[in-house]
Each structure stands twice: as structure tokens, then as C-alpha cells.
A and B are shown apart, each in its own frame.
Chain A
Amino acid sequence: EAGVTQFPSHSVIEKGQTVTLRCDPISGHDNLYWYRRVMGKEIKFLLHFVKESKQDESGMPNNRFLAERTGGTYSTLKVQPAELEDSGVYFCASSQDLGRGDLAFFGQGTRLTVV
């Protein structure tokens, strides 16, 4: 069974450009989460989808970030326009049940560098 996969693994873009990150959750997992780790600090929650609906987007930093999950399958996270402080590693996780932490499976992350 394939795990959570994220594309691309690395992205380097210039300030002001747009970048779209993609996450393919484990098949059948209704719950999908985005997290990010900025500048070697703690990994912070961004948002949570249940199927195609945003259940909790309290961690989204600002309106330059747009997450979608059309059809309740894969998800995209778009940053437009990107700023220097958006650099970091973006993690996606999925779970079948409402996660209690141990039920979430993480992808390998996308390292975003904004120059």
C-alpha cells in the first residue's frame, strides 16, 4: 500500500512567485492535514480536511495560502505570492479515523525555499 506522497520534494522559487504543493493521501483516508516547519522551529499545524471540506484551518498563516481538496482525494496547497518567510518544510498527513496523533501517517515533506 502506498504511503502519503508529496510533490515536489524540493522547490526553489523567487519571492513573489506562485508555488503549488501537492499531497496524495493514503487511499481511503478521509482526513488530510497540512503542517509546516519553518526555519528549524516546531512543526505547526496549518489545516485539516475531512474529505473535501475544511474542518479546521486555524493554522493557516494568512490569505496568501490556499488549500484545496477537490473530490476528497489529493490536496494542493498554493502559496501566492510567496514571501521569504514561507521557506520551510511542508508536511502532509492523512488518517482514516479522526486522528489521535498515532493514527496520522506523514509524507516525506516538501522543502520550499523562497529566494
Chain B
Amino acid sequence: GNSVTQMEGPVTLSEEAFLTINCTYTATGYPSLFWYVQYPGEGLQLLLKATKADDKGSNKGFEATYRKETTSFHLEKGSVQVSDSAVYFCALITATDSWGKLQFGAGTQVVVTP
């Protein structure tokens, strides 16, 4: 079956540090890949997406590249801010999941300190 594996958190780092959150997946077919973020007290928000191999999704300074050869979609940001503290979820949806049936990872909590 389909699955998404993320690095465990919490990840604690200082402001302006480089952030990487690893995400690998197993899926039948050709999935679309997503990163969702949940800020404290808020709902899940789409952060970025990529729908085919070598696509790079980007938003708010975050980037992730769809790597089919390594089945990965690692999230990166060059200089984090305190406001980036949140839980980040990697997710996929396959071509057969045409009804918004997202498959999520377990989430990675990120804590950015001043």
C-alpha cells in the first residue's frame, strides 16, 4: 500500500538556521506530493506541492523537489524564523485516489528559538 515516512521530531533549531525535513514515500502509480503545515491553533494549510518528477515546489521560502529515483520529497528552508515553528506533514495522493484521499506522514514538529 501507499505510505509516507517522515523524520521524527521535534526538530529544534535557532533562528536563521537551515532546515531540512526528510520525507520518503511508497506508492503505486505516479503520486502527487505535498507538504502541509499546521501552525499552533490553526488548521492544516497547503505549503507546497509537486506533481511530477523533478518538479520543485516552493512557497514562503520553503522548497521541495520531487525525486522519483529516491522516492523522496525533502523540505528545505535556508533561514528559518520563529514564525516557522509548526508541525509539517508530508503527503501524497495517487492517480487512483481521485477523491482527495491524502496519505499523510506522521508529521514533524519544528521549534525555532530566537
Give the contacts of B19-45 with A (CB-CB under 8 A): 32, 34, 36, 41-45
**Which of B44, B49, B100, B106 is close to A42, meaning CB atoms less than 8 Å apart?**
B106
Do B98 and A98 touch across chains, with their CB atoms under 8 A apart?
yes
* Interface 1/0 per residue, B68-91 and A, CB below 8 Å: 000000000000000000000101
When distances are taken between beta carbons in the complex, the residues of chain B under 8 Å from A91 are 43-44
- Nearest CB of A to B59, in Å: 11
- Whether the pair B41, A45 counts as a contact (CB closer than 8 A) is no
- Cross-chain contact B100 with A103 (CB below 8 angstroms): yes
| Residue of B89, B93, B104 touching A100 (CB-CB under 8 A) | B93
Does A75 touch B at the CB level, under 8 Å?
no
Per-position 1/0 for B42-75, Cβ under 8 A of A: 1111100100000000000000000000000000
On chain A, the residues within 8 Å of B91 by CB distance are 43, 101
**Is there an interface contact between B107 and A33, defined as CB atoms closer than 8 Å?**
no
- Chain A residues in 8 Å Cβ range of B7: none
Checking A4, A41, A48, A109 against B100 with a beta-carbon cut-off of 8 angstroms, the contacting residue is A48
Nearest CB in chain B to that of A32: its residue:
B100
Other than the known A102-B32, A105-B43, what 12 A-B pairs have Cβ atoms closer than 8 Å? A3-B43, A4-B43, A42-B105, A45-B102, A48-B99, A48-B100, A99-B102, A101-B92, A102-B34, A102-B49, A108-B41, A108-B43
CB within 8 Å of A: which residues of B? 4, 32, 34, 36, 41-46, 49, 89, 91-93, 98-107
